[in-house]
Structure 1
Amino acid sequence: MFDLISRQKMPENIFKLKCNLMQLISKTHPETDLSTVEGAIHFAYNAHYGQFRKSGEEYITHPLAVAEILAQQGFETVSIVTAILHDTIEDTYVEYDDIKKHFGLKIAKLVEGVSKLGKIKYAHIQMQQAENIRKLLLAMSEDIRVLLVKLADRIHNMRTINNIQDERKRRRIAKETLEIYSTLAERMGMRQFKEELQDLSFQVLFPDIFDSIKNRLLLLSKKGSPSVDMIKKDMSSIMEKCSIDAKISGRLKSIYSIWGKMQKKKTTFEQLSDILAFRIIVPKIEDCYRVIGALHLHKKFIPGTFKDYISIPKENGYRSLHTVIIDDNFQRIEVQIRTEAMHDIAEFGVASHWSYKQNKSLDSINEISQFKWINQLIEMLKDTKNPKEFLESAKLEMYNDKIFCFTPNGSLISLPKGATAIDFAFAIHSDLGLHCSKALINGKSVKITSRLQSGDQVEIVPDFSLLVNKSWEKLTVTSKARNAIRKFLKQLKHNCRSNIGRILLIKYLKEKNKAYSKENIHLILKHFNINSLAEFLYFVGIQKIQRQHITNCIENMKPDKAFLLLGMNEDV
């Protein structure tokens, strides 16, 4: 076994990767003590020595690539060292205590957290995926950096996915990446991670469509670069006229986002007009509103496209003003207007909060308000046992665009698009959801199944003599509402079976001239070796315990002296 921390000589290609990574870290974190990073690289190199990837490359190239992805985004040393070491516990002889000894408790816990997200063997792929996602969400709730390393790990694996020969496996990984990991990146506000994961997945799942859009974008880029410059010049002229200091940049949208627009609008690439996106960055918040006024004054804009994410930010902390204007060539142009600070959050999400900008440590990133949705998601999912239901609930919470409604006292409630007043009621409290009878939307009485719109003021009118309707499950869109309804209906069904069991047991005792008494119940439970009366009655109700077995027990019952001394606590 190698000395884990020794500085043994590396092959030239690995040494070059090491130097490139350390130079990158020095650039983004000049204050970093590179000895810790270098120690982690040698530790991982020794641990993975003799291991190779499917491409034939030495395995150490993978954790170094993952660390480089995080370094490019400006993440701090702890995350980068965790990335370098992230596969050592799972794939080598290295143990938790080895990492704790050399790199401290914090990094050891993070590496262990990433390792727990490793391979799980199940007979059914859906159970495996559900368990992987459950563990990922739980690990995220402990420390968000576990997710950051996992996202970077998935990006590099997707970049090299063609080394996997099995096409079905490639497609399964790509589908999971698109459905789960890119969506989590979006929820983290990490645009670059999100778009790369989307495009890499899309390329695997729909290679012909991907290549077609890519080629057309390349052609458009060659022909249309003057167009981008002309639009920038035109916008700059407007800003100068209005005495607004602004930085303007333009780009083509990502391949996957263009495909999404084509699907949503049911149009071809040639018919799609808004494939250009421009950003206008200004010094102060009030300048953002001056820019939107100037653009709308000098250009036509598409009604309904103005969105104010400054007044009401997205849950991931994203803040900007959005609008779509029409240029002189009748081309639709999407414009995002924000400050420099907003731009950092829009591009880098959680990375923008890290110490490289603030020159101080931030140990609990989970305290940042826009990432508390992770713990809320965990709370919603904790009662979901069925793998299919779990996946459905996770995707419901992560996918949907949000609307914002208000309670009568002005509290803001965030819900997915398509949410009903039932979802609103459950968002406030489960008891209110279970007994809601009608709603007042903007003062008007409506059915509880009515769909909500952003800005609605909603008041729920409960009726505690009513119970949840089974049909509500299909009418709700939030996992909290669906899970609460399912849980209530299951408990209702369980109680019904238990009541049937109680009626049957009373009947069997009466047939044998025995009383439904605490002493007799105690003897019966003792005979069947069951401690809980409720559990026993449920088993009788579903006929898991047969009539003949119960009547045989009743016929052979004898008084229990111990019971006469101790009594029985459970109510019969």
Structure 2
Amino acid sequence: MEFDKAFHKFPAGYSVSDIEQIKKAYLLAEKAYAGQTRASGLPYVSHCVGVANILLDMEVHPNLVIAGLLHDILIDTNVTLDEIRTQFGDQVAKYVEDLTKITSLPQLSRGDQHPEERVPISETEGSSSTWKADTAAETLRKMLLAIGEDVHVVIVKLADRLHNMRTLKDLPPDRQKRIAQETLDIFAPLANRLGIWQIKWELEDLAFRYVNPEEYSKIAEQLASRRTKREDEIKIIIAELEELLRKSDVEAKITGRPKHIYSIYRKMLHKGESFEAVRDLRAVRIIVDDVETCYKVLGIIHMHFQPIPGEFDDYIAARKPNNYQSLHTTVIYKDGKPLEIQIRTWEMHYNAEYGVAAHWRYKENKTPISNEYEQKVNILRSLLSWSMDIEDSSESPEREQLDVLQDHVYVITPKGDVVELPYGATPIDFAYMVHTNVGHRCRGAKVNGKLVPLDYQLKTGDQVEILTANRGGPSRDWLNPNLGLVKSARTRSKIKQWFKQQDREQNLEHGKMIIEKEFKRLGIAQVDLNQYVDEFHVKTVDDLYVGIGCGDIPVGRLVNRIAETQRAPEPETIVVMPTAPAKVRPGATVTVMGLKGLATSMARCCNPMPGDEIIGYITRGRGVTIHRSDCPNVLRVKDKERLIKVDWGMEEKSYPVPLQIKAYDRQGLMADISNVISSEPVHLIDLSMNSRQNIVVINLEIEVGGISQLSRLLARLENIPNVIEAIRVKPG
């Protein structure tokens, strides 16, 4: 197949360089697919050319035409992604990589007429690839959008499906029906959402022909038998309306609106009417220059023809949420039959043609989705036309690149089912979404065949396999928000429910152990918990322990409350502003009771921080030094009159805290510790390390903002493999 004969006319905006790149991609595809054929016997590269020609008709960016030529080359040939990147650049390589991900989805039929698709569907294959039409198809449509971070990737996939539908006759009947049903369930609605009307109606009509051949033939025959008559009627109506508007000095373009077979069938089904009764088989569109003329035309139409009650919609004054604007009315024309009329300006027409007017809720009649998702799709629609005026597409990367579904990820089970999870979800969230018992017994996970930690954040397109134990339950660490092991509130609820069902004495002991461990780790002195009983809506301290043990009361919430209580300001207090540089740890947040203007500084012997019980010591000439209440130096003070009551104010600063980490030595330990520290909003001031008999002790000084921040850091450090404990060093 020669290049010049293979392609339609190239858009006028394409440069010589653009066409040369397309030719280079064509030659690469022709060479890579040499010897491969379609079911029809044609060379396989003819499919690649067909997809590219559909994209050329849409006048898309040349990079997309190249991606259309190479859309499945990574799967079907020995060409590598690096080769594509070297020859055509990063953008084309990203397109092809995303297209490969979509093609590889286990629940989607390729329809590319490879040898395995030229035989009837086996029983095993048939049972493994069925889905509930509404829910699963909706999820798959979202997943297609999510995988294609650039919406143009989905456009190429739609062009691929359209060409496969045009050549579907060469496959066995059962495959024809499956691929056609999939097209109606997924690809046609997706084209509708993106506003690509021409592809949308052609996909629907082609698919309907195979899904319901009897109804298709019946409607097609009725349309064919009346086509000449209907076209003659529309020509007369257009001529009469043009004359009517001309008499009123209105310039307008009037066109007939073709009705498609599947659209007619859906309307008949929805309204329970016969073919003869579907009123908008006759429809015209009137396009004028401005909004004022739209209403003038509407008045003229209603003056001369009887409007049908309930069939008028003003989408100009009250535009749809997706910015669609037009006047819709249906009138009884002078021959006594209904005529549907749309009136809009040229600007409204342009917006509608490019997808802003995709009122898919009515058209698809599928499960409603959130306004947030609708808004994201509306943004995508505005990107569908590529302006040839832009010389370099890299000038507007924010318009070209779009993460369309940031709030969810879509992952695949080993059986090929698609599971929707919140963004940031982990394998534990996935396990509980599959089944509660799978979640309880989860002990590890494989993503895309590789073992991953349980705090791994899943990405759209990941295939996830959960490794389970024969018995056992969840770990209490899963409920620790500092470890990031669980994202979903549903998962957290399931874990808490499991612990609630355990023995009260067991939860009581676990609660005591958790509090003791947390207090020790943070260096918090023993606190009378009776004062917090009412606040946490329990009757006794034991009930508080049980609540923490079963996960109903997060230990972090208790620790934060203790810190807040210990630094609550008194009414008579005066905030002392810092008078020394940050290096000296000024008491910017320390309140000195009943005194003004005193300079404050943090004692280096005990390094107090917000949440600690503190006391002030009046020095000679250096203001007040702030110590922890349990600081040995304070306890040894003989001149008790120099001690003064101080408290923490409300403003937060960073404070130095000494920490100690004990761990079994291994390669990469310090790198893991450094990664955790660098990922937290803290500052490492000092570090020293010594080891003995394979045990390493690491002493650090860290600047943190408060108890909750310190708690999260210590929890994450303790979660590093081989770490025995990570604690705050007590003074003295």
TM-score normalised by L of structure 1: 0.64
Q: Is the 8 A contact 1:143 1:365 kept in 2?
A: no
Question: How far 1:274 moved relative to its partner?
Answer: 1.9
Question: Equivalent residue for 1:137?
Answer: 145
Q: Is the 8 A contact 1:177 1:201 kept in 2?
A: yes
- Could you tell which deviates more after superposition, 283-292 or 62-71? 283-292
Question: How far 1:193 moved relative to its partner?
Answer: 1.0
Which of these residues, 59, 79, 91, is aligned with residue 94 of structure 1?
79
Question: Equivalent residue for 1:25?
Answer: 10
CA distance in 2, matches of 1:310, 1:333: 20
CA distance in 1, matches of 2:211, 2:30: 34
CA distance in 2, matches of 1:390, 1:303: 45
Question: How far 1:255 moved relative to its partner?
Answer: 0.5
Query: 1:225-374, aligned counterparts within 5 Å?
Result: 225-314=231-320, 318-349=324-355, 350=381, 354-356=385-387, 358-362=389-393
Q: Give CA-to-partner distance per residue, 1:13-57, whole Å, 9 cap, x none.
A: x21xx3245451145747773111111111111111111112211
- Aligned in 2, Cα 1:203/1:53: closer, same or farther, shift over 3 Å? same
Give the SS at the match of 2:268. Answer: helix
Question: How far 1:204 moved relative to its partner?
Answer: 1.0
Question: How far 1:487 moved relative to its partner?
Answer: 6.0
Query: 1:22-101, aligned counterparts within 5 Å?
Result: 22-27=7-12, 29=14, 33-101=18-86
CA distance in 1, matches of 2:493, 2:269: 42
Q: Is the 8 A contact 1:305 1:324 kept in 2?
A: yes
- Could you tell which deviates more after superposition, 111-120 or 23-32? 23-32
Q: Is the 8 A contact 1:284 1:339 kept in 2?
A: yes
**2:328 counterpart letter in structure 1:** H
Q: Give CA-to-partner distance per residue, 1:83-112, whole Å, 9 cap, x none.
A: 111121121101111011111111111111
Which of these residues, 180, 188, 195, is aligned with residue 186 of structure 2?
180
**1:269 counterpart letter in structure 2:** F
Structure in which a larger fraction of residues adopt strand: 2
CA distance in 2, matches of 1:182, 1:345: 20
Over the residues paired in the alignment, what is the CA RMSD in angstroms? 3.9
Q: Which structure ranks higher in relative contact order (CA pairs < 8 Å, sequence separation ≥ 6)?
A: 1
Question: Equivalent residue for 1:124?
Answer: 128
Q: Is the 8 A contact 2:315 2:327 kept in 1?
A: yes
Q: Give CA-to-partner distance per residue, 1:157-178, whole Å, 9 cap, x none.
A: 111112221x333222212211
Residue ranges of structure 1 left out of the alignment (5+ in a row): 1-13, 394-485, 523-532, 539-561
- Aligned in 2, Cα 1:359/1:567: closer, same or farther, shift over 3 Å? closer
**2:513 counterpart letter in structure 1:** S
CA distance in 2, matches of 1:352, 1:345: 11
Give the SS at the match of 2:343. Answer: strand
Identity of aligned residues (%): 30
Q: Is the 8 A contact 1:186 1:194 kept in 2?
A: yes
Question: Equivalent residue for 1:492?
Answer: 493
Structure in which a larger fraction of residues adopt helix: 1
Question: Equivalent residue for 1:203?
Answer: 209
Give the SS at the match of 1:226. Answer: helix
Question: How far 1:65 moved relative to its partner?
Answer: 0.4
Question: Equivalent residue for 1:459?
Answer: none
Give the SS at the match of 1:501. Answer: coil
Larger Rg: 2
Q: Is the 8 A contact 1:130 1:390 kept in 2?
A: no
Question: Equivalent residue for 2:513?
Answer: 517
**1:162 counterpart letter in structure 2:** K
Question: Equivalent residue for 2:158?
Answer: 151
Question: Equivalent residue for 1:222?
Answer: 228
- Aligned in 2, Cα 1:299/1:293: closer, same or farther, shift over 3 Å? same
How many pairs are equivalent? 417
Residue ranges of structure 2 left out of the alignment (5+ in a row): 108-126, 356-380, 423-486, 519-545, 552-696, 698-717, 719-723
CA distance in 1, matches of 2:351, 2:511: 71
- Aligned in 2, Cα 1:228/1:390: closer, same or farther, shift over 3 Å? farther
Give the SS at the match of 1:279. Answer: strand
Question: Equivalent residue for 2:686?
Answer: none
Question: How far 1:318 moved relative to its partner?
Answer: 4.0
TM-score normalised by L of structure 2: 0.51
- Aligned in 2, Cα 1:341/1:298: closer, same or farther, shift over 3 Å? same
Give the SS at the match of 2:254. Answer: strand
Give the SS at the match of 2:225. Answer: helix
Q: Is the 8 A contact 2:141 2:190 kept in 1?
A: no
Q: Give CA-to-partner distance per residue, 1:154-205, whole Å, 9 cap, x none.
A: 101111112221x333222212211211111111111111101111111111
Q: Give CA-to-partner distance per residue, 1:397-426, whole Å, 9 cap, x none.
A: xxxxxxxxxxxxxxxxxxxxxxxxxxxxxx
CA distance in 1, matches of 2:341, 2:388: 27
**1:153 counterpart letter in structure 2:** D
Q: Give CA-to-partner distance per residue, 1:285-319, whole Å, 9 cap, x none.
A: 33323322322232222233223334555566543
